[in-house]
Amino acid sequence: MERRKEPAISGRGAQSGAVPTRFGLATREADGDWRDYMELLAQESGGPPVKLRTTVIEEHPKTIVTFNQSPDIGFDRSINAYRGCEHGCVYCFARPTHAFHDLSPGLDFETKLFAKPDAAELLRETLAKRKYRPRPIAMGTNTDPYQPIERRYRITRSILEVCLEARHPVTITTKSDRVCDDLDLLAELASMNLTAVAVSVTTLDPKLSGKLEPRAAAPAKRMAALGRLAQAGVPCFCSVAPVIPAITDEFMEDIVARAGELRVTAAFWMALRLPHEVAPLFREWLSVHFPERGDKVMNIVRSMRANEHGGRDNDPDFHSRFNPKGVWADLFRKRFEIACNRAGLGPKDRRIKFELDCTRFRPPEVGGQMRLL
């Protein structure tokens, strides 16, 4: 894999704007937008383009809870307070969702964000419906609920406040220590067995993290957040995800060992997934940051996603998409198992189940109207 001549884009994960083509959309042409301006500026100056600014658009959907019937996902409903994610993780499987809006899964995904300020009220309306039946709501399944703009919008906190009022179970997955800003709510929810938090840690090397996930919290801050959650009595899980062969897998044992020292509830791992436009974006990232290792990385990835037709960048099939195959996958599983045993996170603790209490649920008030019962 040859190195690209262009310099790396500072502070961003994607190195270009992958064009969405899956929905019959015309290939993007120069139309005077900000990307064309940036490229022109770079050519004229002979240097790297200026840093891209993040923009946020407020949207007002009619509903906020998304229901699914997937046979291999452990939750049937979720909330995403934001679209797009400024963390800029180059491997993020959610990037292709920006293509639904004719936006790039590349740079647009991490610079053109959408916020849903009405989320809490929409949730309140959903929970108050007569036929609603509670089951854990998952947050952070598509974009991070604690990405940088949460500090300004506080949408995630407002959702947690409604969940606490309604005694509704909720789970969180994040790459940010900003989750500790809501430790007061999470601790109270945890006291009633209504919440669990997973913090994703890919590497302990801050320089590598800065390339992979440039605007996510540093690895040390994420580990510290796990420690604070554990001390506060919040069930917390260390997610070693994704494991990238020949890039991050060397940190697996150290991450698990550190998680054990912090007395987390459990740890789990997931292999790299590269759906749709994520695959070319990731290949491009490799060509910029690890050109000497790019072919090796992709060969291992393809060996874990092989089927009867040979290797492939991604496995989209239910059940198998979360269960890589082959020698490398077996090696990672064994290494992780040994690391967990050494860290005191044995097999019984590794069966990740968010068994939260749904019996405490009480429909919230809507519009100031008092409950009859």
Contact between 96 and 105 (Cβ < 8 Å):
yes
Q: Does residue 116 form part of some domain?
A: yes
Across the chain, which has 373 residues, the per-10-residue mean pLDDT values are 56 62 50 44 55 89 94 92 96 91 90 97 97 97 95 98 98 98 98 98 97 96 98 96 97 98 95 94 95 96 85 87 93 96 72 80 79 52
The partner residues of 138 in beta bridges, in order of sequence, read: 78, 171
Place of tokens 């990385």: 297
CA distances from 132 to 65, 158, 221, 363 (A): 12, 20, 38, 9
Q: In this structure, what CATH number is given to the domain that contains residue 291?
A: 3.20.20.70
Q: Does residue 355 form part of some domain?
A: no
Q: Does residue 368 form part of some domain?
A: no
Per the structure, the complete domain to which residue 173 belongs is given by 34-349
At CA 371, angle to CA 369 and CA 373, rounded to 5? 165
Q: How many domains does the chain have?
A: 1
User: Can you give the pLDDT at residue 220?
Assistant: 98
CA dihedral 189, 113, 286, 92 (to 10 degrees): 30
Max Cα distance, the chain (Å):
70
Q: Does residue 240 form part of some domain?
A: yes
User: Can you give the pLDDT at residue 149?
Assistant: 96
Q: Does residue 278 form part of some domain?
A: yes
User: Can you give the pLDDT at residue 76?
Assistant: 94
Q: Does residue 3 form part of some domain?
A: no
Spell out a b/e string for 142-176, using b for 16 or more CB atoms within 10 Å of the CB, else e. bbbbbbbbbeebbbbbbbbbbbbebbbbbbbbbbb
Q: What is the pTM of this model?
A: 0.87
Q: Does residue 343 form part of some domain?
A: yes
Q: Does residue 224 form part of some domain?
A: yes
